[in-house]
Amino acid sequence: MRPFARLFLMFLCLLIVPPLAYADSPVTSTPFSNAYLDQPIVEEAKNFGQMTKEIAEYLKDSGNPLAIKAAVINALYNQQVWSERNQADIYAKYIYNKSVQELDMNTLSGEELYCLGYLTLLDQYRAPQKAIPYLEAALNKKPTSFTASITLAIARGQESWQDIWPLTAAVMEDLTLNQDMKPEAVEIIFSYLSLYQDASEQSEYLEQSAKSTQTFGQANDMKNIIDIITGEETAVTVYCNGLKINYDVPPVLDNSTNRTMVPFRKTFEALGALVWFDASSNSVYGRKGQILLRLPVGENKAFINGQQVALDAPSKITKKRTLVPLRFVSQALGYQVTPRLDGEVLNVYISN
């Protein structure tokens, strides 16, 4: 089923299913706490499903990692039946002996603001505007936290569903953030939110042109193209199975290596792969079926299902985006790559 069709069915379900049914939405359908069930406090939160003094004290403790606090909160709501609750107020009563509304935001730390904001968001997921001020204030105090950034993006996306994909994709692609969340947790979040891509981005269909002035039939015949084009880098347009891939940072032909370099996330997505960035290994990952690719940023090597292969063009960072060699990632995932020079424009066609 296509993602847009699935979203339409989800919308119909929200109209006809009673209020206590499980809620399928950006806020409620990202159970990333499952990646943290090795943490006893997360497992306790999931099994009990209710704020306790022990859980509240864990959330308040500044020595505990923010990502695990986020997982604890997420696990509290990771139930098959969904209803609005008041766990934020229960937490505030335990820790501050006040309701959330009685607290002065200016006196709270970034982690305190985050916990109150995320609890409020999940308590009242139909009214994300109530949580957003807390999450914005939290991010202002923790501007490099991936956890704080992605939670705020999800909250804003809940408020405006057509924006959920660009909001969250921008966070996923921001390499200046501290990746404080487990890669497995990021994968859970991304695997659901990627369903919104078709709803938020209008695809451009390729018009098959018989007017091409020069066609290079051999998939690996880049030499003739390089001879025609001058300059260190040349802009490139990429099509996958007839659809243009819309990049916010354009792909380039690196004439020093004769390789087309493309932003990794948009490319992997177009190829049908799940993608994420892991700060601990400084690597980008793409997974499709039984194939797992890992490309360490800035290194002339990659790994296919754990087996190292040499690259003649390393991945690199340009304008906060990681660029990877198009031909390698495409062929590793089972696609063919054909370059074509149409007039002065270099187009690259990927097909399976």
Question: What does the alpha-carbon distance between residue 7 and residue 29 come to, in Å, rounded to a whole number?
Answer: 13
Per-residue model confidence as pLDDT tens digits over 152-180: 999 999 888 778 888 887 887 777 788 89
| Both structure tokens of 175 | 């390499």
This prediction has a pTM of 0.59
Question: What does the alpha-carbon distance between residue 48 and residue 94 come to, in Å, rounded to a whole number?
Answer: 17
Q: Is the dihedral of CA 292, 24, 165, 39 positive or negative?
A: negative
Question: What string of DSSP letters covers 156-211?
Answer: HHHHSGGGHHHHHHHHHH-TTSB--S-HHHHHHHHHHHGGGHHHHSPPEEP---S-
| Both structure tokens of 133 | 């001020």
- Written as tens digits, the pLDDT of the chain (352 aa) is 444 444 444 443 333 333 333 346 788 888 899 999 999 999 999 998 999 999 999 999 999 999 999 999 999 987 655 566 899 999 999 999 999 999 999 999 999 999 999 999 999 988 999 999 999 999 999 999 999 999 999 999 988 877 888 888 788 777 778 889 988 888 788 777 766 765 544 333 223 323 322 333 333 344 443 333 344 456 788 999 989 998 888 888 777 777 888 988 889 989 988 888 877 778 888 888 778 888 998 898 999 888 889 888 888 887 777 889 999 999 999 999 888 877 667 788 898 8
Question: What does the alpha-carbon distance between residue 4 and residue 197 come to, in Å, rounded to a whole number?
Answer: 8
By C-alpha distance, which of 41, 75, 40 is closest to 55? 41
Question: What does the alpha-carbon distance between residue 348 and residue 341 come to, in Å, rounded to a whole number?
Answer: 9
